[in-house]
Amino acid sequence: MKYLIVKSMAGIGNRLSTIGEAIHYAIISKRYLIIDWTDHMFSANKENAFYKYFNVLYDAQLFRHNIIIPTDIPNYETKSVHPLCWTKHLAKTGYDCMKNHTTWKLDDYYKGKVIYSTNQGVFNIHNINTYKQDILVYTNVVGLRRDRDMNYIKKYIQIKSEYLKIPASIIHKLGNYIAIHIRYTDKKCNYTKALRIINNLLLTPSHSNIYVATDSSIIIDKVNRIAKIHNKTDTIHYITKPLSRTDSNIHYRGDYNKHDKIQDIITELQVLTHARQLICWDFSTFTWLPQCYRGYKNIVYL
């Protein structure tokens, strides 16, 4: 049997998008898919964090296996690997290859062999089956086709039940609150518009409870000041821990316990999914899966 290893990178939204694309590659090339989250972003002590928090729902198309880390592949040292830089380095992460200035994206290696076709701006890779190596290693920051990739995640990836935790302050309000995701750290989201929306919501006499998911404690401070002005602090809810008053991205901070980080992220994804209305920046991959589960309904884009 042959294998496809996806070396995930960046935040949870990017990782899920890349996994969705890797599922597509694994299905059409009839390979076992191994998902590797042993990098420093979510893993402690090189543990593969993906299989700790997620189940893969295998079927006749996505082949079942019990391999947790790439070096569990039987006789992996004797197998052919592509791209070549991963030969004898299957235990390394995508970040290791980037750090060593190695060409790392699957598409960089496949250039000239992969055929791209454009259909209304959507790119498809057709001939992954031209690669006969025993092991293919795929590393990327985001998948090429958002809807396809998120639907693969929806079909094949399941959060383990023990991590499906929603705080009591929110669970009895499911479906009857507004959720807003404010990405702040890279300053690409129109966070000032988001703050105006929160202000206007708090001005209405019959406003809903508001759940705020953000990557910055600066936003938490700003939202709290708005709520305090309106004397409505009890209607604002958070999961993210306000660890810093700097521009540091909370989910990337090294002093944030890895388990707490992933648990917070999983909880935020659930709350965004079950809100009566979702307000978000469409280009943030963090909201792509909740949008997909919602059927892209009752969403306001920043």
The CATH 3.40.50.11340 portion of the chain extends over 3-163
3-163 has which CATH code?
3.40.50.11340
DSSP secondary structure, 253-273, as one string: -TTS-HHHHHHHHHHHHHHHH
Local confidence band at 118 (pLDDT 50, 70, 90 cut-offs)? very low
Q: Alpha helix (H) ranges present in 62-216?
A: 94-99, 106-110, 146-156, 168-171, 191-203
102 vs 76, residue with greater confidence: 76
CATH architecture, range 168-301 = 3-Layer(aba) Sandwich (3.40)
pLDDT of residue 167: 67
For 21-61, the pLDDT digits (tens) are 999 999 999 999 999 999 988 898 889 999 999 999 999 99
Classified as helix, coil or strand, 55 is strand
For 207-260, the pLDDT digits (tens) are 778 999 988 888 889 999 999 999 999 889 887 665 445 555 555 555 568 888
Q: How many Å separate Cα 276 from the centre of its chain?
A: 22
Q: Tell which residue, 178, 254, 259, 171, has the closest CA to residue 213.
A: 178
Strands 209-214 and 299-301: unpaired
Q: Is 47 exposed, middle or buried (0-12, 13-18, 19+ CB in 10 A)?
A: middle
CA 302 – CA 51 distance, rounded (Å): 34
CA 207 – CA 202 distance, rounded (Å): 6
How many distinct helices (H) and strands (E) make up the chain? 10, 13
CA 152 – CA 28 distance, rounded (Å): 13
